[in-house]
Amino acid sequence: MKLFKKSRDKGSITLEFVGTFAIYLFLVALAFQAMLAMFSVSQANIAARNAARAEVIQAGAGKHAAYQAVSPGLRKTGVNTSCSGSRNPEGEIKCEVSLGMPIFNFKDAPDWAPQLRVSRSNTQPMTEAN
């Protein structure tokens, strides 16, 4: 009578490690993509605020201020800025900035990957210029 049976589970731990490692790698990539999205939203928010402030001080300066506020890596995705509002002393200027969100692990995203865009707006009263 044998006291110890030979195990048939050889290699099962390796297989489990490879399977869970792939899942963890996917979750890390997903978390990194979420961080890229939050960074894009933050950059759009800062750009909209700077554009509205610049537009209050000088008409037409909002687009350049928004472009300069966005980090160079996100400028490549395209920065769209539109400002509108009333320039009278009681009025306000609203600027909206839209920029593309980078997709993790794609330098040049293929055609099948949709370009995701983030849009933020900011409103500044004209009284700040006085």
Q: Do the domain assignments include residue 53? A: yes
> 4 to each of 1, 10, 11, how far by Cα in Å?
9, 15, 19
Position 128 pLDDT exceeds 60:
no
d(CA 101, CA 80): 13
pLDDT (tens digit per residue) in 21-65:
889 998 998 999 899 999 999 999 999 999 999 999 988 899 999
HSE (CB half, 13 Å, CA atoms) of 19? Answer: 6
Q: Do the domain assignments include residue 10? A: no
Boundaries of domain holding 92: 17-129
Q: Do the domain assignments include residue 60? A: yes
Of residues 85, 110, 111, 106, the one with CA closest to residue 96: 85
pLDDT (tens digit per residue) in 62-93:
999 999 999 998 888 889 999 998 878 888 99
Q: Do the domain assignments include residue 1? A: no
Q: Into how many domains does the chain fold?
A: 1
Position 106 pLDDT exceeds 70:
no
Q: Do the domain assignments include residue 45? A: yes
63 in helix, strand or coil?
helix
At residue 73, the pLDDT reads: 86
Q: Do the domain assignments include residue 76? A: yes
